[in-house]
Amino acid sequence: MTTEPVLAAVDDDAAPLTHHQLRELYTLMAAVRHLDTSAVAWQRQGIIPAYAPELGQEAAQVGSGYAVDRTRDFVFPTYREMGVARAMGLDMVGYMSTHKATWHGGMYNPLESRFAPIQAVVAGSVLHAVGWAHGQTLAGQPTGEMGVAMTYFGDGASSQGDVHEAMNFAAVMKAPVVFFIQNNGWAISVPTERQVAGGSVAARAAGYGIPSLQVDGNDVVAVFEATRSAFAHCRAGNGPVVIEAMTYRRGPHSTADDPGRYRTLNEERLDAGEDPLERFKQRLLAEAIADEAFFAEAQRLAEEEEETIRRGIEDLGPRPGAEMFGLVFQEPTPALQSQATAWREESEHV
Amino acid sequence: MSETITAMPGTTDVSAASVHQMSMQQALNRALDEVLADNPKTVIFGEDCGRLGGVFRITDGLQAKHGEDRVFDTPLAESGILGMSVGLAMAGFHPIPEVQFDGFAYPAINQIVCQIARMNYRSRGTLPMPITLRVPSFGGIRAPEHHGESLEALFAHVPGLKVVSPSNPHDAYHLLKYAATRPDPVIFMEPKSRYWQKGPVNLSSAATEVSANDDGTAPSGSLTGARVAREGRHVTLVAWGAMVSRCLQVAELAAEDGIDIEVLDLRWLKPIDAEALARSVGKTRRAVVVHEAPLTSGLGAEVAQLITQSCFATLKAPVERVTGFDVPYPSGDLEDEYIPNIDRILFGIQRVLEYRRG
């Protein structure tokens, strides 16, 4: 469903995805699926203290992340964008370290990764995307080549006032921002119908004069194409776009959550729709783009990758306590330095 | 406009040509003008900062001179202004946002506390936040509700923020230029009741390390620390922002009774210049902290502890606090009852002078 106003630069003539790209998308989704379900197991095994699964959102995350140009765009994630991170080629030990409780924002380099630190405040980084995007305008990026900010948030976060402020600012300033909403049906225990008046976040965009797309978030190709269109629109200097990817959070909100308290297994089966990974597999088979040997290989690669990442996570020791003090400021205050000295003397007995 | 005056007797490092008589509003405006000229990555924005020049005219003429990309109006939403600052800083800019009045920082507190203050830490130092947030602050102008608040203790309590407040035009000029070139976020609290008072401003960059006092004499104190605004022997009055000039008035009155008051202008509210407190109160052995903010958990408590820590053995009396009350900031008619006035400060001085142990 597209609501007025429409995208000014839809990439209708953009080349369709090649078979190679389609297979690459599947490989990414398989890797994300396996890492995600493994991370839940890691938590149960005591390897990590907590995790926020994205099971069921692989198409929405991989499809959108695959459209990012890492030479000029910048992504602003929440705490449930592992699939985007993987699709963008992040250092995944660095990414998953946030769930090991090593460092809140993750251990990857956000500037080199073009992926902002993991954000625990719901809708906290939506405005940052607007500021970063306006910076591209101020820097005088030539039209057609502008860097684009893509900010992720969910149906729950869409209730935050910052989302309104961000959309309004972006529209007023014609900032190159893609607002990417994963409407996964649930904000912990609260369903979308108790969260989003009118039933659609995308529908709000019209009020800001922002073009919007509501896409099947479980169709990785549809998500990719929508995101690519949005990026083309932004790059051409036409201002922001809203994408609402309709998907389903198949797992719990986090490993500490118990969905049995607010939805039955039967409801989950009925509401979740088709599994995005299985659905894509059937399509690739039907179109003879991939065969069973390919899927087996994708699974083998996913398992190999998970093992490497798990070993990296297990090997991560705690950060030196001195970093608590050293990373607060670029120019530390005398009071903080004396606290660091006292801590060292009293904790390390030096 | 500012007029050039001759150097005053007693000043050092003051060449006649570089000392100007100007208001704090003019000094701040000039500082911003120079920062914009010096650093092409500096951007100024907020509500009515552009064409209007701000409701206090601090950004007057800057958009016309530097262009709409450097100085611009935003929609009327403080969280948006501060959240946008984070993204601009991430993109390599040096934002100088304004919230129009102190009380309007509350709608942005999530972006200030959870984002601006933490991004350097969260990103392990890869995304510094060189943001100077200008906040017209404190009371004294008979303004509507939420236009006379003192938020320094709130800001100072947040790890990752620095807080500064100038008390005179000279310091306003140099402290703003200094803050705006730092790599860390600084909350710059401007005493709005002092915007229109004129004073000598030494524009020489050599004057950044020293600070002429309000009467133009005895420069003292590095720009990164507190400033002895008046030397004295019997009691130290510790103040910042608009309370500094009131404490100087009190000192003149007390001098008539033979009481020699030292006035310490703290300037930096985070980090607090603990050494300057120790030096001053180590000498006078008595201290009164004066601030407009409510008493309970106000910054006066922090100052009192720092003094106690360094001067306990020689203190002649417990540190006194003369402050606003634990009430919502009152309407203009009651403002003079709320803000520490000369009588209440004199009573505070009397209490530390007359204190007897046991």
Digit-coded pLDDT (tens) for B30-49: 999 999 999 999 999 999 99
> Which is nearest to B78 in space by CA: B56, B92, B99?
B99
Give the pLDDT score at B218.
37
Alpha-helix residue ranges (DSSP H) falling in chain B: 24-38, 62-66, 78-90, 109-110, 119-122, 152-156, 169-179, 243-256, 274-284, 299-311, 332-338, 342-354
Are the CB atoms for B269 and B289 separated by under 8 Å? no
* Token pair 């088709």 in the structure block, residue: A274
- How would you classify the pairing of strands A190-191 and A186-187? antiparallel
What residues in A contact B93, CB-CB < 8 Å? 135, 138
Are the CB atoms for B221 and B167 separated by under 8 Å? no
Q: Say yes or no to pLDDT of B253 above 50.
A: yes
Cα of A205 to nearest chain B Cα, Å: 17
Are the CB atoms for A276 and A253 separated by under 8 Å? no
Are the CB atoms for A75 and A161 separated by under 8 Å? no
> Which is nearest to B242 in space by CA: B339, B132, B135?
B339
| Phi, psi angle pair for B246, to nearest 5° | -65, -40
Contact B86 A333 (CB under 8 A): no
Contact B110 A162 (CB under 8 A): yes
Alpha-helix residue ranges (DSSP H) falling in A74-219: 82-87, 92-96, 110-113, 126-138, 161-173
B262 in the Ramachandran plot: left (φ > 0), alpha (ψ -120 to 50) or beta? beta
Contact B83 A127 (CB under 8 A): yes
What residues in A contact B122, CB-CB < 8 Å? 104-105, 117
- Which pair of structure tokens corresponds to residue B183? 């790599």
Task: Out of A104, A111, A169, name the one closest to residue B74 (CB).
Answer: A169
Give the pLDDT score at A185.
95
What residues in A contact B121, CB-CB < 8 Å? 105, 327-328
Q: Under CATH, which number does the domain B16-208 receive?
A: 3.40.50.970
Give residues with Cβ within 8 angstroms of A346, minimum separation 6.
none
Are the CB atoms for A243 and A227 separated by under 8 Å? yes
Q: Say yes or no to pLDDT of B4 above 50.
A: no
Strands of B165-257, DSSP E: 186-191, 198-202, 227-230, 235-239
CA dist list (Å): B306 to B108, B164, B238, B285, B352: 30, 18, 12, 13, 17
Tally C-beta pairs within 8 A across A and B.
133
Ordered by start, the domain boundaries in chain B are 16-208, 227-354
Residue B200: pLDDT band by 50, 70, 90 thresholds? very high
Q: Report d(CA B9, CA B166) in Å as an integer.
A: 24
Burial of residue A274 (CB within 10 Å: 0-12, 13-18, 19+) is middle
| Phi, psi angle pair for A285, to nearest 5° | -65, -45
Class for the domain spanning B227-354: alpha beta
Say which amino acid occupies B103. G
| Active-site pick, A262, A263, A283, A344 | A262
| A111 part of contact set with chain B, CB < 8 Å | yes
Question: What is the pLDDT tens value at each position of chain A, 350 positions in all?
Answer: 444 666 655 555 578 999 999 999 999 999 999 999 999 999 999 999 999 999 999 999 999 999 999 999 999 999 999 999 999 999 999 999 999 999 999 999 999 999 999 999 999 999 999 999 999 999 998 888 999 999 999 999 999 999 999 999 999 999 999 999 999 999 999 999 999 999 899 999 999 999 999 999 999 999 999 999 999 999 999 999 999 999 999 999 999 999 999 999 999 999 999 999 999 999 999 999 999 999 999 999 999 999 999 999 999 999 999 999 999 999 999 999 999 999 999 987 66
CA dist list (Å): A147 to A66, A90, B98: 15, 19, 27
- Which pair of structure tokens corresponds to residue A44? 């149960």
Q: Report d(CA B225, CA A21) in Å as an integer.
A: 60
| Active-site pick, A33, A114, A233, A253 | A253
- Which pair of structure tokens corresponds to residue B165? 């407040």
* Token pair 């976020």 in the structure block, residue: B185
Enclosing H/E stretch for B95: strand B94-98
ipTM entry: 0.95
Cα of B196 to nearest chain A Cα, Å: 32
B225 in the Ramachandran plot: left (φ > 0), alpha (ψ -120 to 50) or beta? beta
Matching CATH topology for B16-208 and B227-354?
Answer: yes
Say which amino acid occupies B254. A
Task: Out of B87, B122, B125, name the one closest to residue A132 (CB).
Answer: B87
| B257 part of contact set with chain A, CB < 8 Å | no
Task: Out of A104, A111, A327, name the one closest to residue B120 (CB).
Answer: A327
Q: Report d(CA B291, CA A16) in Å as an integer.
A: 67
Give the pLDDT score at A15.
86
Q: Provide the terminal-to-terminal Cα distance of chain A, rounded to the nearest Å.
A: 65
What residues in A contact B162, CB-CB < 8 Å? 329, 333
Q: Report d(CA A264, CA A270) in Å as an integer.
A: 10
Task: Check if A262 is active-site.
Answer: yes
> Which is nearest to A309 in space by CA: A116, A36, A44?
A36
Q: What is chain B's length? A: 358
Contact A105 B184 (CB under 8 A): no
Task: Out of A104, A134, A329, name the one closest to residue B160 (CB).
Answer: A329
